[in-house]
Amino acid sequence: MKIGFASDHAGVELKGRLCQWAENHGFEIVDFGTHTKDAVDYVDYAYQAIQRRSEWDRLVLVCGSGIGMSISANRLPDIRCALVTSPDHARLARQHNDANCIALGSRIIGIETARDCVAEFLNTPFEGGRHAGRVAKLG
């Protein structure tokens, strides 16, 4: 599975640690940046990663709160991005909403919780069934 990662300057450190964790667990990663703490616009990095949709199976976006990245991502077609703050959020986003993207807030959650969220996101299948019709309505 290919995992895309993107962040703004506020999320660059957490993103780097999550990329390393994912690689250590056998996932192929694609890092869309940013790679420095120089101020950038989260929108640009969310859009860049999403426009390169063919290069990833799931996408993890990181900014200070996660809110800006999730709003940016959900403006684009075929993206179901959930802002998650707990592993339960990540699991439910996959099970019930077939989320293909999560957004994390580097100023909101720590590295351990972020890793647990990413693990749940990557390892939880979509449940389908009663949820499939609802997801289909999203387009």
End-to-end CA distance of the chain: 24
- Tokens at 112, concatenated: 């351990």
- Please indicate whether residue 101 is annotated as part of the active site: no
Candidates 19, 35, 81, 96; catalytic one: 96
* Contact (CB, 8 A) for 6 and 48: yes
CA 87 – CA 11 distance, rounded (Å): 19
Candidates 9, 19, 63, 81; catalytic one: 63
CA 32 – CA 12 distance, rounded (Å): 11
- Please indicate whether residue 96 is annotated as part of the active site: yes
- The catalytic residue positions are 63, 96
